[in-house]
Amino acid sequence: MSRSALIAILPGDGIGPEVTQQAVRVLREVAAQGGHQLAFEQGLIGGAAIDAEGSSMPQQTVSLCSRADAILLGAVGGPKWSDPEALVRPEQGLLALRKKFGLFANLRPVCPNPRLNDASPIKPEYLDGVDLLVVRELTGGIYFGDKERGEAHASDTCRYGIHEIERVVRLACALAQRRRGKLTSVDKANVLETSRLWRATVDRICGKEFPELEVEHLLVDAATMHLLTRPRDFDVIVTENMFGDILTDEASVLAGSLGLLPSASLAQSDGDHAFGLFEPIHGSAPDIAGLGVANPYGAILSAAMLLRHSLGLDAEALRVEAAVDAAIAAGALTRDLAGPGGVTTVAVGDAVIAAL
């Protein structure tokens, strides 16, 4: 069955426009082959929006995203806008998007490609068979709590309501049901009251609603170690906002490059698919912006997640993921993976489309 949808494209800063361009090329090819009617409209966010509109998320962008079925984002930020005392910063636009559209859960799959094991600093024997998914709560915790700063002190309040914990835990459990049936909850319950509430909520929901799952609790400091020393033992990891931010970047080391990994930030849904924002996990990489060497695989795989989670096109998502594997097998590797002999950003897009 054909699908019609509007995709909001927010290229952002640095290499964002370069990698999103290749992801859009792939989406257009998928649409053409499958008879889907996908429309694309571009908006401003981050530093580019500050320069043009004085706001990191202009009202025009909000309106565009409100009309869209999903959002594909590149990256935001860069040294040009890095003054910590600035009243408007690029990252505020991304946080505002999450809050505006209720994007409460961030999904980051990590499944290292065996052909790229040498690109990771982790020993290959630790990487074989690794296939994990981190589910990070995205709208609560210390990032959104009350903040105060004086000349000699500062404070950031970490606050969680039980509803915020319940909804992300239920999503993580549902995802674990479809995978290998194991859930690892990461917290700091030996110190933090928010973590004690988190752990109690996980036990209640898993015990009553998902008794078939294997559930373990890990303190965040132990989780950071085990993620690198026994990564294949993990299936689905669920954790709060700040811990998830840290752990997902650490997990990217397993894959060998930040440029390889996608992410999805999803809103609540009662159906089979949800409104979401999809973006590669890497930053704006201003040092290589405009050189045509950025790795677009993370953006292309984010487009695959968009097809699966927001448009309900799982078969098309699988085809994109298979095409990425084929392109990598064919040697279409940018310089972060292949060194000076790496191919261009556009050449990777060409290789994925050829594989499709």
Domain of 326: which CATH number?
3.40.718.10
Residue 281: phi, psi to the nearest 5? -80, -10
The answer to whether residues 5 and 60 belong to one domain is yes
Catalytic residue among 203, 233, 245, 350: 245
The answer to whether residues 85 and 12 belong to one domain is yes
Catalytic residue among 99, 123, 128, 221: 221
The answer to whether residues 141 and 221 belong to one domain is yes
Catalytic residue among 233, 249, 314, 350: 249
The answer to whether residues 150 and 97 belong to one domain is no
Q: Spell out the per-residue pLDDT of the chain, length 356, in tens.
A: 789 999 999 999 999 999 999 999 999 999 999 999 999 999 999 999 999 999 999 999 999 999 999 999 999 999 999 887 788 889 889 888 988 999 999 999 999 999 998 888 999 999 999 999 999 999 999 988 899 999 999 999 999 999 999 999 999 999 999 999 999 999 999 999 999 999 999 999 999 999 999 999 999 999 999 999 999 999 999 999 999 999 998 998 999 888 999 999 999 876 678 999 999 999 999 999 999 999 999 999 999 999 999 999 999 999 999 999 999 999 999 999 998 999 999 999 999 999 99
**Residue at 242 is within a domain:** yes
Is residue 185 within 8 Å of 197, Cβ to Cβ? no
The answer to whether residues 135 and 219 belong to one domain is yes
* Strand residue runs (E) in the chain: 4-12, 37-42, 70-75, 105-110, 132-137, 147-149, 154-156, 182-187, 214-219, 236-239, 262-266, 276-280
Is residue 333 within 8 Å of 297, Cβ to Cβ? no
Single-letter code of the amino acid located at 97: L
pTM of the model: 0.93
The answer to whether residues 244 and 302 belong to one domain is no
188 is catalytic: yes
221 is catalytic: yes
Number of domains in the chain: 2
Catalytic residue among 188, 235, 297, 336: 188
Is residue 300 within 8 Å of 260, Cβ to Cβ? no
**Residue at 272 is within a domain:** no
Can you give the residue range of the structural domain that contains 42?
A: 1-103+285-356
Catalytic residue among 80, 126, 131, 143: 143
